[in-house]
Amino acid sequence: MQPKEFKQFVREDAPRGDITSEAIFGPEGPDVKAQIVAKQDLVVSGFSVIKELLRSEFTKVSLTLKTRDGAFVKKGKVLAVVVGPVSQVLQCERLCLNILQHLSGIATQTSKYVALAKSFGVTILDTRKTLPGWRDAQKKAVRDGGGANHRRDLSDQYLIKDNHIDAVGGVIEALEQVRAHQKKFKNKPLIEVEVRSEGEFCEALLMRPDIILLDNMTPAQIRQLVRMRNKSCDPKHRPLLEISGGVTLKNINRYVRLGVERISIGALTHSVMAADVAMKITWIVNRRS
């Protein structure tokens, strides 16, 4: 994130300052020490953003980490110690906690999916269903949770979706257009195509894209298409198969056993539950006269 974004965070939260803290302590007040503590078991993510926020906007506040992004911690773990003028510490408190709660929530949720998929050789991926301006941070949180990133943006990789197919007239037509366009690139972007039926899958298989995305299919349908792919393609040159749509923590065990290589899950970023963390002042370092 850029300094101008951090300035906007502060402007949004305290357009005329933190009037409560300023009323009680003045513009700075005594130096205090505060702890950021995990209130649940979680996977940490967000401190890389918080460090930049403090460096940009709260220069008198120091942050000492007691863990790292990507670490699993138990409830009660002290994640970091914050020291600085009480008014600045209190003003940055909610900004820091919001960032940490949101991104640690993504990392924690991702880690649960990864734990269920890893032994089957299935990669858990995110999607582009992210908040504007927060994509890089949210995608890093997925990595912190052990997941992998799908394409970062529309320029990163070809992904032919249902609307492309319907508008151009079919899977083969769409793939032909993309193959021609791909020749413009020295480093050729991957080609992925979404299919909704066995017929579309067979057309895609003929064109050998890098990845075929099986959209909202049942386990029985997926199992059949995996068999078709394995039977008709050399293992060294066959498209990867990816599942998307309807996969949850409750049913993922039905999908990881089907022989696909990838599962992409929009809910990792668009429906995340915030992790529970808190900040508590533990000590007054000095009182200013």
Decide if 43 contacts 12 (C-beta within 8 A): no
Residue 280 is among the residues annotated as catalytic for this protein: no
pLDDT digits (tens, 9 = 90+) for 181-224: 999 999 999 999 999 999 999 999 999 999 999 999 999 999 99
- CA neighbours within 13 Å on the CB side: how many for 123? 13
Share of the chain above pLDDT 90, in %: 94
Quote the pLDDT of residue 3. 83
What is the per-residue pLDDT for 236? Answer: 84
Q: Dmax of the chain from CA atoms?
A: 80
> Which one from 51, 129, 135, 238 is the annotated catalytic residue?
129
Give the confidence band of 251 by pLDDT, cuts at 50, 70, 90. Answer: very high
In angstroms, the CA 60 to CA 82 distance is: 10
- Over the range 145-177, which residues count as b (16 or more CB within 10 Å of their CB) and which as e? bbbebbbeeeeeebbbeeebbeebeebbebbee
H/E segment holding residue 263: strand 262-264
Residue 74 known to be catalytic: no
Average model confidence (pLDDT) across the chain: 96
34-38, 112-116, 233-237: the lowest-pLDDT one:
233-237
pLDDT at 231: 94
Output the CA angle 246-248-251, nearest 5 degrees: 95
Candidates 210, 215, 261, 276; catalytic one: 215
pLDDT for 71-84, tens place per residue? 999 999 999 999 99
pLDDT at 1: 81
> Taking 60 as the threshold, does the pLDDT of residue 255 lie above it?
yes
Are the C-beta atoms of 34 and 81 separated by less than 8 Å?
yes
Going by pLDDT thresholds of 50, 70 and 90, the confidence category of residue 287 is: low
The domains of the chain, with CATH numbers, are 3-112+273-286 (3.90.1170.20), 113-270 (3.20.20.70)
| Catalytic residue (choose from 11, 68, 161, 288) | 161
129 is annotated as an active-site residue: yes
183 in catalytic set: no
Residue 288: per-residue pLDDT: 54
Active-site choice (18, 31, 126, 194): 194
Identify the residue whose tokens are 């080609």: 191
Measure the CA angle with vertex 185, ends 183 and 188; round to 5°: 85
Give the confidence band of 289 by pLDDT, cuts at 50, 70, 90.
Answer: very low
Catalytic entry in 33, 51, 66, 94: 94
The pLDDT of residue 141 = 99
**Residue 194: which residues within 8 A CB-CB, separation 6 or more?**
159, 160, 161, 162, 165, 213, 215, 244
pLDDT digits (tens, 9 = 90+) for 107-137: 999 999 999 999 999 999 999 999 999 999 9
pLDDT tens-digit series, residues 135-192: 999 999 999 999 999 999 999 999 999 999 999 999 999 999 999 999 999 999 999 9
